[in-house]
Amino acid sequence: MIYLDYSATTPVNIKVLKYFEDVSLRYIGNANSIHSLGKNSFKAINSCSKKISSLLKLKDQEIIYTSGATESNNLAIKGIAFKYANQSKQIITTYYEHSSIIASINYMRTLGFKVQIVNSNNKGIVDLEHLKKLINDDTVLVSIGSVNSEIGIRQPINEINKIVKQHKNCIFHCDMTQSIGKERIDLSQIDLISFSAHKFYGIKGVGALIKKNNLQLDPQIHGGKSTTIYRSGTPATPLILSMGKALELMYVNFDKKYNHVAMINKYLRGELEKIKEIKINSTIECLPHILNISIPSFSSKKMVKELAKNDIYISNHTACSSDESKSLAIYALTNDLKLARTSIRISLSYLTTKKEINMLVEQIKRMLKNV
């Protein structure tokens, strides 16, 4: 099998899975219970939060554990919008956000919020001057992801944050699902950060929303008090602990892993550039883990399915939007319907080899020959 769909999800690291089994048997108590078994689970979650905070160099930030980034994004957007609905009613975002951001913001629009889309340049990067013009005293939230999941476009998060911070009532939410565990990024000043364990070889079904301590949110899941007041329910202790483990493992040889992916990306890009039918959509500034291309002469769905018959796995668009007939992100970037309808995403890992890339390229060439 040649797996090249790591941005959709990663295969779980066997060490994480073993750890999950171990802590599932070790921490049987409900972390909300007051007896010693409950307290043991609660303490284990607390030390996991300390570990994550230290790995991510968080400052004055609280970790709210969720079921994944979709929930984190919903909590961030609705939680802020509902909390401050009486004060301000404008939300700013981009065309490059994940469907869970777009859908949550669209929902707030139906409740009377005004939504503004900030312009981007021809590389998909946010136009900071336009952002300055759009933000005003009525802006409650700016939600812009650090890395777009389909193309790998990176946004200048710290510059964006500085602009947002000039408005005292405005909050910055950053979906870092495609960044955490992959690239070094300063998170210390950001109000709200979403991420998910299954993007860094953790188990599916757990993620987090990191929140500045002084910030308040309207909870979106109501119930009894839990490890935080923002998300009720029995804490998923083994999943939470296994996410901490997955992140810790990502930080072993972190730079080496990143450099390997950058090398593989360069090699793949070089090989694809030799094929005249292919247009490469990801720029060299994009996160190297993602390479998006369009093949206008070939249906992207057919390409994904044909490659899968040969045990090679890539994506058309993202996994969350693979049924859409066109990619909204590629359309926003290129303004070209044909490219948006025929785009595919190849996503890479520190596990990816040149041999795998050669086999992918060979299969693509074979398919194009038979058109």
The residues annotated as belonging to the active site are 320
Which residue from 78, 98, 154, 341 is in contact with ligand PMP, where contact means CB under 6 A? 98
Joined tokens for residue 366: 């074979």
226: contact with ligand PMP by CB under 6 A: no
| 9 CB burial (10 A radius; 0-12, 13-18, 19+) | middle
Q: Which is nearer to ligand PMP, 104 or 227 (CB)?
A: 104
5: contact with ligand PMP by CB under 6 A: no
Which residue from 120, 149, 226, 321 is in contact with ligand PMP, where contact means CB under 6 A? 149
104: contact with ligand PMP by CB under 6 A: no
Residue 208 is inside which H or E element, if any? strand 207-212
Sign of CA dihedral 340, 344, 345, 346: negative
Joined tokens for residue 345: 């995403």
Strand order in the sheet with 61-66: 61-66, 207-212, 192-196, 171-175, 139-143, 90-93, 114-117
349: contact with ligand PMP by CB under 6 A: no
Which residue from 17, 117, 320, 351 is in contact with ligand PMP, where contact means CB under 6 A? 320
12: contact with ligand PMP by CB under 6 A: no
3-state secondary structure of 269: helix
151: contact with ligand PMP by CB under 6 A: no
202: contact with ligand PMP by CB under 6 A: no
Compute the distance between CA of residue 101 and CA of residue 239 in angstroms, rounded to an integer.
24
Which residue from 13, 41, 74, 100 is in contact with ligand PMP, where contact means CB under 6 A? 100
Q: Which is nearer to ligand PMP, 70 or 300 (CB)?
A: 70
Minimum gap (Å) between residue 359 Cβ and ligand PMP: 25
Stretch that binds ligand PMP, among 86-94, 170-178, 292-300, 361-369 (CB under 6 A): 170-178
Compute the distance between CA of residue 172 and CA of residue 191 in angstroms, rounded to an integer.
6
Stretch that binds ligand PMP, among 13-21, 74-82, 317-325, 348-356 (CB under 6 A): 317-325
345: contact with ligand PMP by CB under 6 A: no
Under 8 Å between Cβ of 143 and 177: no
Which alpha helices (DSSP H) does 251-336 contain, by range? 254-273, 300-309, 328-334
62: contact with ligand PMP by CB under 6 A: no
The residue written with tokens 């939410």 in the block is 173
Compute the distance between CA of residue 215 and CA of residue 168 in angstroms, rounded to an integer.
12
Minimum gap (Å) between residue 317 Cβ and ligand PMP: 11
Longest CA–CA span in the chain (Å) reads 68
Joined tokens for residue 163: 């602009």
Under 8 Å between Cβ of 284 and 58: no
Under 8 Å between Cβ of 56 and 187: yes
Which residue from 13, 20, 61, 68 is in contact with ligand PMP, where contact means CB under 6 A? 68
175: contact with ligand PMP by CB under 6 A: yes
Which residue from 48, 69, 135, 236 is in contact with ligand PMP, where contact means CB under 6 A? 69
Q: Which is nearer to ligand PMP, 30 or 283 (CB)?
A: 283
Which residue from 318, 321, 334, 342 is in contact with ligand PMP, where contact means CB under 6 A? 318
Under 8 Å between Cβ of 143 and 101: yes
Task: Tell me which amino acid residue 353 is.
Answer: T
145: contact with ligand PMP by CB under 6 A: yes
Q: Which is nearer to ligand PMP, 100 or 342 (CB)?
A: 100
292: contact with ligand PMP by CB under 6 A: no
Bridge partners of residue 62, in order along the sequence: 211
Minimum gap (Å) between residue 106 Cβ and ligand PMP: 15
Compute the distance between CA of residue 284 and CA of residue 209 in angstroms, rounded to an integer.
30
52: contact with ligand PMP by CB under 6 A: no
Stretch that binds ligand PMP, among 43-51, 172-180, 183-191, 349-357 (CB under 6 A): 172-180
Q: Which residues bind to ligand PMP, rule: CB under 6 A?
A: 68-70, 73, 98, 100, 145, 149, 175, 177-178, 196, 207, 318-320
